[in-house]
């Protein structure tokens, strides 16, 4: 990993080369005072890991309502889905 680890000053001096390496799929670790400060990755890798917005409970409920013809749920039912822990069945 040391061959992929650069100080901030080294990374600044070699930025173009490091960007090319990241584009080829190689993660570049950038350190400050010997501690990891940042990781340079390709745009494709960033999109793969961070680009998709995760669906929240509200979005899931709206999608479910659209799919099943606007079924109405009470606020208590919705709160029970959002707040329950894994394996717990809400009481109504």
Question: Where exactly are the structural domains of the chain?
Answer: 2-50, 55-83
Is pLDDT above 70 for 8? yes
Determine if the pTM surpasses 0.85: no
Predicted confidence band at 14 (pLDDT cuts at 50, 70, 90)? very high
- Residues with Cβ < 8 Å from 21, sequence gap 6 or more? 4, 28
Residue reference for tokens 């109405």: 72
For residue 20, what are the contacts with CB-CB under 8 A and spacing of at least 6? none
Mean pLDDT value across residues 77-82? 72
Domain 2-50 has CATH 3.40.1620.10: yes
Distance CA 86, CA 84 (A): 7
Highest mean pLDDT among 27-31, 46-50, 83-87: 27-31
Is the pLDDT at 92 greater than 50? The verdict is no
pLDDT above 90: percentage of residues in the chain: 41
């Amino acid at each position: 990993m040391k061959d992929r680890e650069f100080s901030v000053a080294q990374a600044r001096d070699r930025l173009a080369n490091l960007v090319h390496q990241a584009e080829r799929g190689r993660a570049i670790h950038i350190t400050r005072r010997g501690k990891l400060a940042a990781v340079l990755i390709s745009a494709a890798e960033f999109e793969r890991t961070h680009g998709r917005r995760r669906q929240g409970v509200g979005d899931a409920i709206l999608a479910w309502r659209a799919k099943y013809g606007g079924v109405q749920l009470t606020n208590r039912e919705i709160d029970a889905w959002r707040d329950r822990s894994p394996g717990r069945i809400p009481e109504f």
